[in-house]
C-alpha cells in the first residue's frame, strides 16, 4: 500500500500581486499547497476555509496590515501554535520587535531571498511539529497521571522547598504547587498518620537516605474525605554523592485499598450478619484451644440452629428472612457480650456457621463452669418475637454443644461432636439444648447405616404391617385395628418405627412409604370387612411431613376408591404435636379429609402442649390417650385423676376415647369404670401379622386375657 502524504498548506498574504505569484510558484515547487490573499482581512477569511500549516504575512498591507492580522490570528485557540513568518520591508529593529510582540514565529526581510524563505519555512514546520509532539505527549502523560491519580513531587533539600506537580496539587487539593516548608503538608495528613510523617520528614533533613522509598499515608482531601496515598521516592545526589533532593510520586490508591479491605473483610466475615465466617472462626477456635492447653479451664463449642428457618423465607420472603438472621446475630452477640465481661471466662467467639446455624466458642476458666448456662442463655434470646419486614416472627431453636476434654483436643473432633449433639437436639424437638456424649456417636453411626439401607427396604420387601386390635371397652369386642409399620432389617433385625420413621421423613421417603402403608392397610381392611366385620375400622398413622404434603388428599381418595371401602371405616391418626405445628394449615387439611368422610384421631394425647379445649377447633372423632398416662394408673393417684379428667372432657367434646398401652387388668378395669370407650394394649394383643389377626378375629372372645376382663353390659 502506498501512503500519500498530504501536501502542507501555506497561506500567504501580500498586497503585491507579482510577489504573490513568484512566491507561490517557488513554494509550489517545494511541494506546498499555496493559497494567497491580497490583505490581512482576506487572509482571516481564508483561514476559516483552509486548514493552514503555515502562514506567511507581509507587514505592510492596506485594509489590514500584517501586525494586526497576526494579532487576530493568535486570538483563535486553534492557531496558538501555528507558525507565522512575517516579511518585513520596513527598516529597523522596531518592526522586528513588533512582529514578535504580536506573535510572529519568525521574520524575513524584504526583498525576499527565496532559498532562505524555503529553509525558514522547513525549519519552522519541523520545530512546530516537534513542539506539537511534545505537547501531545505531555497531554497524554497528564491524562495518564489523571487516570492513575498520580502526581509528582520534588523536595529541594538545600532550599527546603517542596514542589508539587499540577496533578499532585489537584489530587490533594493543595492551595499551591510551591511549599516553602514541608511541614505544611502535615496539616493535610490525618491525625493518626501525622506523627509518623513528622518523624520521617525530620529524619530526612539530617539523614536523607533514611527517607522511606515506599510508604502509605492518609490525607484529608477537601470534599472527598480521607484518601489513601501511596508515596514512592528516590534520592537525588550531586556529583560528590551528597543528597540534594528527594523526589517521587504520590498515587491515590483509596479505591484499591478499600477493595482490598472489603475482600479481606469478606474472607473473614459473613456479609449478611457481619459475624466471623466459619473459616475465620475455626482459626479463632484453634487459638482458643491452644490457650486452653496452657491455661486449662474448659472450651465449649456451641452450635445453634434456627428451627424451620426455610419456612420464614417461604412465608415472609427473603428480606424478612435476612432481617431475622441479622437480628438473631445481634442478640446472640449481645448475650455473649454479657458473659465475656464476667471474670469466669477467658474468651468468647461467635460466627455464622451455616445458613441458619450460629457457632459460639467459649473458654471458661474452670471446668466447673461447664454448667451449660451459655447454651441455655443463647436459646433464651430467641424467645422474644422478631419484627421483620413488617411481620412478627416467633422463633425456636436447637442447640448442640461439646467440650474440649483430655480425649478431645483437636478442633475437628470438637466440631464433629458439637454437630452430632446438634443433630440429636434437632431430633428431640424445638428449644432443646444437648451436650455431646459418646453414646450420640454410636447412635449417629447406626443412623448412617439405617439411612443407607432404608432406600431399598421397600423394594426388597423388608417392610410390612402389623395390626393391633382396638377393643370396645364396654362390649368387649374387636372394633378395629391400628396398622403399625415394621422393618425387618437383614442384619440388625427388627428396627422400631420410632427410629426409622423420622429418618424416612428427613430423607423425603415418608410420602411413598406412607402411601404404601395406606394401600396395604385398606386392602387388609377390605378383606376383614368382607369376612363379615362390616363395621371394622382401620387406623393408619400419618406423619406430620406426610400430612403437610399437598398430594395427600388425592392419594387417600384414590386408595379408598381402589380398595372399595367406606371412608368412614378408615381413621387417620395424627400426633398431638404435629396437629399443633401449624394450626391454620392443619385445620384446612383436616377439613378436606373430613369432607371425604374419614375419621380423625389425635394420637399420643398428653405428650404435647395442647389443651383439650384447643382441640375443639379441629374436626376430630377420636382421642388416643398416651401410654404414659396409663402405665402408672394403678399406682399413681395423679395419673388417675388426670386420666379421669381427660376422659370426661373428651366425652364432653363428643370424642371417642381410646386408652393406649393397656398391659394390666387393673388399668382396664379402672378405665372401664371411667367410661373409656376403647382399649388398645398388650393385655389384649401385641401388634401381630394379618394372618394372626384374622385368627384372633375368629377366635375372639375365647382369648385368655379377655376372660379376665370384668363383664360389661
Ligand atoms: P403409636 O401410633 O402411638 O402406636 C402405638 C405404639 O404403642 C406401637 O408401637 C405399639 O406397639 C405400642 N403399644 C401398643 N400397646 C402397647 C402396650 O401395651 N405396651 C407397650 N409398651 N407398647 C404398646 P410401635 O409399633 O413401635 O410404633 C411406634 C410409633 O411409630 C407409633 O406410635 C407411631 O407413631 C409410629 N408409627 C408406626 N407405624 C407408622 C406408620 O405406618 N406411619 C407413621 N407415620 N407412623 C407410624
Ligand atoms: Mg398411632
Ligand atoms: Mg399412640
What is the spatial distance between Cα 640 and Cα 140, in angstroms, rounded to a whole number?
Answer: 98
Average pLDDT (72-76) is 93
Q: Where are the alpha helices (DSSP H) in 243-367?
A: 254-268, 278-295, 309-316, 318-340
Average pLDDT (214-240) is 90
- Is residue 363 within 8 A of residue 374, CB to CB? The reply is no
The reply to whether ligand 1 has any atom less than 6 angstroms from the CB of 681 is yes
Confidence of residue 711 (pLDDT cuts 50, 70, 90): very low
The reply to whether ligand 1 has any atom less than 6 angstroms from the CB of 501 is yes
Q: Which atom of ligand 1 is nearest to the CA of 546?
A: 44
The reply to whether ligand 1 has any atom less than 6 angstroms from the CB of 606 is no
> Positive or negative CA dihedral for 574, 580, 582, 585?
positive
The reply to whether ligand 1 has any atom less than 6 angstroms from the CB of 661 is yes
Confidence of residue 502 (pLDDT cuts 50, 70, 90): confident
- Check residue 369 and give its pLDDT: 59
Beta-strand pair 477-489/463-472: antiparallel
Ligand nearest to the CA of 684: 1
What does the mean pLDDT of the chain come to?
Answer: 88
Q: What is the pLDDT of residues 310-322, one digit of tens each?
A: 878 878 888 999 9
Specify the residue for cell string 456457621: 353
- Check residue 706 and give its pLDDT: 43
More confident residue, 111 or 659: 659
Stated length of the chain: 713
Is the pLDDT confidence value at 366 over 90? no
What is the spatial distance between Cα 326 and Cα 354, in angstroms, rounded to a whole number?
Answer: 13
The reply to whether ligand 1 has any atom less than 6 angstroms from the CB of 246 is no
Average pLDDT (338-350) is 88
- Check residue 704 and give its pLDDT: 45
Is the pLDDT confidence value at 511 over 70? yes
What is the spatial distance between Cα 268 and Cα 276, in angstroms, rounded to a whole number?
Answer: 6
Average pLDDT (560-573) is 96
Confidence of residue 1 (pLDDT cuts 50, 70, 90): very low
- Check residue 712 and give its pLDDT: 36
Q: Which atom of ligand 1 is nearest to the CA of 683?
A: 18
How is 92-111 classified by DSSP, letter by letter? SHHHHHHHHHTT-SEEEESS
- Check residue 708 and give its pLDDT: 44
- Check residue 370 and give its pLDDT: 60
Give the closest residue (by CA) to ligand 1 atom 4: 484
- Is residue 155 within 8 A of residue 182, CB to CB? The reply is yes
- Check residue 240 and give its pLDDT: 87
How is 142-204 classified by DSSP, letter by letter? HHHHHHHTEEEEEEETTTTEEEE-HHHHHHTT-S-SEES-GGGGGGGB-HHHHHHHHHHHHHH
Mutating to test ligand 1, I would choose from 466, 470, 497 the residue with most ligand atoms within 8 A of its C-beta, which is 497
Mutating to test ligand 1, I would choose from 463, 464, 481, 484 the residue with most ligand atoms within 8 A of its C-beta, which is 484
Q: How many Å lie between the centroid of ligand 3 and the Cα of residue 649?
A: 19
The reply to whether ligand 1 has any atom less than 6 angstroms from the CB of 713 is no
- Check residue 585 and give its pLDDT: 78
Is the pLDDT confidence value at 470 over 50? yes
Mutating to test ligand 1, I would choose from 631, 634, 660, 667 the residue with most ligand atoms within 8 A of its C-beta, which is 660
The reply to whether ligand 1 has any atom less than 6 angstroms from the CB of 602 is no
Q: How many Å lie between the centroid of ligand 1 and the Cα of residue 255?
A: 66
More confident residue, 506 or 564: 564
Is the pLDDT confidence value at 587 over 90? no
More confident residue, 453 or 482: 482
- Check residue 611 and give its pLDDT: 59
Q: What is the pLDDT of residues 396-431, one digit of tens each?
A: 899 999 998 777 778 889 999 999 999 888 877 778
How is 246-278 classified by DSSP, letter by letter? EEEEEEE-HHHHHHHHHHHHHHHB-TTT-SB-H
- Check residue 570 and give its pLDDT: 97
Amino acid at each position: 500500500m502506498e501512503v500519500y502524504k498530504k501536501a502542507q498548506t501555506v497561506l500567504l498574504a501580500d498586497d503585491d500581486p507579482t510577489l504573490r505569484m513568484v512566491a507561490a510558484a517557488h513554494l509550489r515547487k517545494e511541494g506546498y499547497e499555496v493559497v494567497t490573499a491580497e490583505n490581512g482581512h482576506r487572509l482571516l477569511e481564508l483561514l476559516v476555509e483552509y486548514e493552514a500549516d503555515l502562514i506567511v504575512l507581509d507587514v505592510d498591507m492596506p485594509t489590514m496590515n500584517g501586525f494586526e492580522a497576526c494579532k487576530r490570528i493568535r486570538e483563535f485557540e486553534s492557531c496558538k501554535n501555528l507558525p507565522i513568518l512575517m516579511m518585513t520591508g520596513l527598516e529597523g529593529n522596531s518592526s522586528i520587535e513588533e512582529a514578535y510582540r504580536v506573535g510572529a514565529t519568525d521574520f524575513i526581510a524584504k526583498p525576499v531571498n527565496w532559498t532562505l524563505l524555503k529553509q525558514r519555512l522547513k525549519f519552522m514546520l519541523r520545530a512546530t511539529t516537534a513542539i506539537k509532539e511534545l505537547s501531545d505527549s505531555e497531554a497524554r502523560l497528564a491524562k495518564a497521571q489523571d487516570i492513575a491519580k498520580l502526581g509528582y513531587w520534588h523536595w529541594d533539600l538545600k532550599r527546603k522547598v517542596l514542589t508539587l506537580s499540577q496533578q499532585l496539587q489537584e489530587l490533594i487539593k493543595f492551595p499551591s504547587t510551591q511549599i516553602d516548608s514541608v511541614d505544611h503538608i502535615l496539616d493535610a495528613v490525618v491525625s493518626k498518620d501525622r506523627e509518623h510523617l513528622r518523624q520521617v520528614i525530620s529524619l530526612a533533613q539530617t539523614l536523607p537516605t533514611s527517607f522511606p522509598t515506599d510508604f502509605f499515608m492518609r490525607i484529608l482531601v477537601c470534599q472527598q474525605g480521607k484518601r489513601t496515598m501511596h508515596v514512592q521516592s528516590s534520592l537525588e545526589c550531586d556529583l560528590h554523592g551528597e543528597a540534594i533532593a528527594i523526589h517521587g510520586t504520590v498515587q491515590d490508591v483509596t479505591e484499591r485499598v478499600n477493595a482490598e479491605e472489603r475482600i479481606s473483610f469478606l474472607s473473614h466475615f459473613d456479609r449478611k450478619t457481619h459475624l466471623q465466617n466459619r473459616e475465620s472462626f475455626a482459626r479463632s477456635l484453634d487459638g482458643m484451644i491452644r490457650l486452653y492447653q496452657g491455661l486449662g479451664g474448659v472450651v465449649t463449642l456451641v452450635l445453634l440452629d434456627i428451627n424451620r428457618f426455610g419456612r420464614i423465607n417461604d412465608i415472609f420472603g427473603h428480606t424478612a428472612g435476612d432481617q431475622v438472621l441479622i437480628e438473631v446475630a445481634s442478640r446472640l452477640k449481645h448475650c455473649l457480650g454479657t458473659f465475656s465481661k464476667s471474670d469466669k471466662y477467658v474468651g468468647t467467639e461467635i460466627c455464622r456457621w451455616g445458613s441458619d446455624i450460629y457457632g459460639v466458642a467459649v473458654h471458661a476458666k474452670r471446668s466447673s463452669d461447664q454448667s451449660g448456662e451459655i447454651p441455655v442463655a443463647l436459646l433464651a434470646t430467641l424467645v422474644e418475637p422478631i419484627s421483620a419486614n413488617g411481620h412478627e416472627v416467633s422463633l425456636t431453636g436447637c442447640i448442640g454443644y461439646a467440650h474440649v476434654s483430655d480425649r478431645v483436643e483437636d478442633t475437628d473432633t470438637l466440631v464433629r461432636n458439637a454437630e452430632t449433639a446438634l443433630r440429636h437436639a434437632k431430633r428431640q424437638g424445638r428449644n432443646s439444648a444437648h451436650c455431646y456424649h459418646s453414646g450420640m456417636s454410636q447412635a449417629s453411626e447406626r443412623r448412617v447405616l439405617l439411612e443407607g439401607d432404608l432406600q431399598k427396604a421397600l423394594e426388597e420387601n423388608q417392610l410390612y404391617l402389623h395390626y393391633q386390635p382396638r377393643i370396645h371397652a364396654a362390649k368387649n369386642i374387636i372394633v378395629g385395628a391400628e396398622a403399625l409399620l415394621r422393618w425387618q432389617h437383614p442384619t440388625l433385625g427388627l428396627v422400631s418405627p420410632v427410629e426409622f420413621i423420622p429418618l424416612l421423613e428427613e430423607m423425603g421417603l415418608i410420602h411413598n412409604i406412607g402411601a404404601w402403608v395406606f394401600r396395604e392397610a385398606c386392602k387388609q381392611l377390605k378383606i376383614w370387612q368382607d369376612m363379615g366385620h362390616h363395621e371394622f375400622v382401620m387406623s393408619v398413622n400419618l406423619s406430620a411431613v406426610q400430612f403437610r404434603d399437598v398430594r395427600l388428599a388425592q392419594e387417600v381418595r384414590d386408595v379408598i376408591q381402589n380398595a372399595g371401602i367406606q371412608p368412614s371405616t378408615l381413621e387417620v391418626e395424627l400426633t398431638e404435636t404435629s396437629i399443633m405445628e401449624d394450626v391454620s394449615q392443619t385445620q384446612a387439611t383436616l377439613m378436606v379429609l373430613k369432607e371425604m368422610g374419614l375419621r380423625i384421631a389425635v394420637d399420643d394425647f398428653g405428650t404435647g402442649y395442647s389443651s383439650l379445649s384447643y382441640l375443639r377447633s379441629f374436626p376430630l372423632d377420636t382421642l388416643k390417650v398416651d401410654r404414659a398416662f396409663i402405665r402408672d394408673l394403678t399406682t399413681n393417684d395423679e395419673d388417675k385423676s388426670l386420666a379421669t379428667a381427660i376422659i370426661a372432657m373428651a366425652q364432653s367434646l363428643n370424642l371417642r376415647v381410646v386408652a393406649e398401652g393397656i398391659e394390666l387388668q387393673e388399668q382396664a378395669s379402672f378405665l372401664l369404670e371411667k367410661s373409656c370407650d376403647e382399649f388398645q394394649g398388650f393385655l389384649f394383643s401385641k401388634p401381630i401379622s394379618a394372618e394372626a389377626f384374622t385368627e384372633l378375629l375368629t377366635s375372639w372372645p375365647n382369648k385368655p386375657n379377655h376372660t379376665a376382663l370384668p363383664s360389661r353390659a
